[in-house]
């Protein structure tokens, strides 16, 4: 896939069927929810819980998410409940992990500008100007 194709996919990405769930695409709001709850950086959480958090945030009912997302303790308890209800073996999370990695790459690429001829991003100036 070219950079432009990745960016286009990020802007037009739709729901994806993964495992037993339909995952909504990443949005600015879901990214905020992930950062707000340290999904990517919390050293107290393991990779299984972080992957499940991604799946929970993109599959669960939005009202259920909103009821817990502003309290880390409630949020991570809801993620644990989601794991207990949906995941029998840790390998059940593998498709969610792959989807998470692809979705994050696509989302971030969609928000970046292509490199213009001459090796700099559009809208940037060289150090000499």
Q: Whole-angstrom Cα distance, residue 67 to residue 121?
A: 40
- pTM of the predicted model as reported, rounded to 2 decimal places: 0.66
Q: What is the pLDDT of residue 126?
A: 43
Note whether residue 56 is domain-resident: yes
Q: Which domain range does residue 101 map to?
A: 3-121
Higher-pLDDT residue of 100 and 113 is 100
Note whether residue 129 is domain-resident: no
Nearest in space to 98 (alpha carbons), one of 12, 7, 1, 19: 19
Note whether residue 126 is domain-resident: no
Note whether residue 127 is domain-resident: no
* Helical spans, DSSP H, in the chain: 3-12, 28-36, 47-59, 62-66, 72-86, 94-110
Split into its structural domains, the chain has a count of: 1
Q: What is the pLDDT of residue 64?
A: 96
Q: Whole-angstrom Cα distance, residue 36 to residue 126?
A: 35
Note whether residue 82 is domain-resident: yes
Note whether residue 128 is domain-resident: no
Q: Has residue 128 got a pLDDT over 70?
A: no
Q: What is the pLDDT of residue 107?
A: 64
Q: What is the pLDDT of residue 27?
A: 81
The pLDDT tens digits for 9-55 are 444 456 666 678 788 887 888 888 988 998 887 677 878 888 889 88
Q: Has residue 57 got a pLDDT over 50?
A: yes
Note whether residue 49 is domain-resident: yes
Please tell me what DSSP assigns to residue 93: G
Q: Whole-angstrom Cα distance, residue 124 to residue 93?
A: 41
Token pair 């959480």 is at which residue? 45
Q: What is the largest CA-CA distance in the chain?
A: 59
Asked if 99 and 18 touch (Cβ cutoff 8 Å), the reply is yes
Taking residues 100-121, what's their average pLDDT?
60
């Amino acid at each position: 896939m070219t950079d432009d194709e990745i960016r286009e996919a990020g802007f037009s990405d739709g729901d994806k069927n993964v495992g037993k769930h339909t995952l909504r695409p990443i949005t600015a709001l879901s990214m905020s929810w992930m950062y707000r709850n340290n999904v990517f950086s919390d050293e107290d959480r393991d990779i299984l819980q972080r992957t499940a958090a991604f799946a929970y945030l993109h599959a669960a009912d939005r009202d259920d998410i909103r009821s817990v997302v502003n309290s880390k303790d409630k949020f991570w308890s809801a993620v644990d409940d989601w794991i207990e209800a949906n995941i029998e073996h840790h390998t059940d999370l593998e498709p969610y992990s792959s989807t998470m990695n692809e979705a994050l790459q696509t989302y971030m690429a969609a928000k970046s500008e292509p490199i213009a001829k001459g090796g700099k991003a559009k809208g940037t100036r060289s150090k000499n100007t």
